[in-house]
Amino acid sequence: MSAETTTTNNAATVIIGQKVRPGAESAFAIWQDNMNAAAAKYPGFIAAETAQPTNVQPDWVVVYRFDSISNVQAWINSSTRQEHLDLGRDYFDGPATQQVISGGSQPTDALVTVVVTHRVKPEHVEDFLDWQGRLREAETSFAGFRGTELFRPIEGLQDEWTALYRYNSAADLDAWLTSPERTALLDEGKKFDDFELRTIDNSFGSWFAFDDKGNEAPPPSDFKTSIAVWVGLYPTVVLLTLALSPLEMPLWLGLLIGNLISSFVMSYFTMPYYVNKLLKIWLWPREDRTQSWTNSRGWAIIVGVNIFWIAVFFLCTTVFWSLP
């Protein structure tokens, strides 16, 4: 078993997949935000993340993380959650799928994860573990493989065994899923063929990993990312330059220190609390808005905010103060 499998973390993760009726996506997103807000009020809540469907994952995926199995059970079995489910049933296209993982590492880099759940009869557990070992051994020879974890059933909450497989990219994952080696191993484990497989695309950026509500969201295009960074970089750099100017440092030292400070300011303040909120309708357009509407509003905000900063800095450096 890989090093990823051994952990002393008692936290529990719930992964819920849900198909949504066509045309109900926007209403479902609002409903899910309300569901996540309700979960946040329960003891042991750590985080909730929502990911829209992508080319890799066909369902909406919601991940809840609590500090213990008991607190997960309290939330999953709560009347509050049931009331929210009753309100959202018109948005669902079929039943949801759910996996609960006790402990386990939480990767911080951008990987594609496969979640596989198996129903295993008690008398077949040893054979199942041997078969999983052969699967793991075969996977390690494939490009992009990053690790695997296997989780036992959780009494009173989940009867299935859950396996996680992580890869660098969807292409690496597909190479394994369609390989002759995996096909042969699946043939060997035919008595364990009562399983479900889901792929979760975790390829989110860093500055753009969260939307304005703090939920994980797919990153914008490289072009939008570059423009957004430019919008945040201009006021950040000018303000830091003005703040450091009284120190009269030489150019080489001033740029060294200023760039270091600006990197922290951009990462921890400018991008998450200024740019992402300011440009949210452009960076993460709503599905009920046309592209022309989104682009026109986005560019209007970009031009308007830059004119504002230009006016402020012009007045500060040429009218009120004598700064270069």
**CATH for 95:** 3.30.70.100
Task: Looking at the structure, tell me whether residues 72 and 157 fall in a common domain.
Answer: yes
Domain tally, the chain? 2
Burial label, 22 (beta-carbon count in 10 A; 0-12, 13-18, 19+): exposed
- The pTM assigned to this predicted structure is 0.44
Same domain, yes or no, for 178 and 228?
no
Residues 160 and 191 in one domain: yes
Q: Which of 211, 171, 194 is nearest to 50 (CA)?
A: 211
| CA–CA distance, 240 with 273 (Å, rounded to integer) | 17
Residue-range definition of the domain harbouring residue 238: 222-320
Q: List CB contacts of 58: < 8 A, sequence separation 6 or more.
A: 19
- The residue type found at 284 is W
pLDDT tens by residue, the chain, 324 residues: 333 333 335 678 888 888 899 999 999 999 999 999 999 999 989 888 888 887 777 788 888 888 888 888 788 878 888 888 888 889 988 777 777 776 654 444 456 777 788 888 888 888 888 888 888 888 888 888 877 777 777 666 677 787 877 787 778 888 888 899 988 888 887 777 667 776 665 533 334 444 444 444 455 777 888 899 999 999 999 999 888 888 888 888 888 898 889 888 888 788 878 888 899 888 877 767 788 888 999 999 999 999 999 999 988 888 777 655
Same domain, 70 and 148: yes
Indicate the DSSP class of residue 141: T
One domain for residues 90 and 28: yes
Residue 125 lies in a domain: yes
Residue 213 lies in a domain: no
3-state secondary structure of 17: strand
Same domain, 132 and 230: no
- Statement to judge: residues 39 and 171 lie in one domain: yes
Say yes or no: 130 and 230 in one domain. no
Based on the fold, state whether residues 189 and 235 are members of the same structural domain. Answer: no
Inter-axis angle of helices 251-265 and 222-244, nearest 10? 130
171 plus 235 within the same structural domain: no
Phi/psi at 284 (nearest 5 deg)?
A: -130, 75
Helix, strand or coil for residue 161?
strand
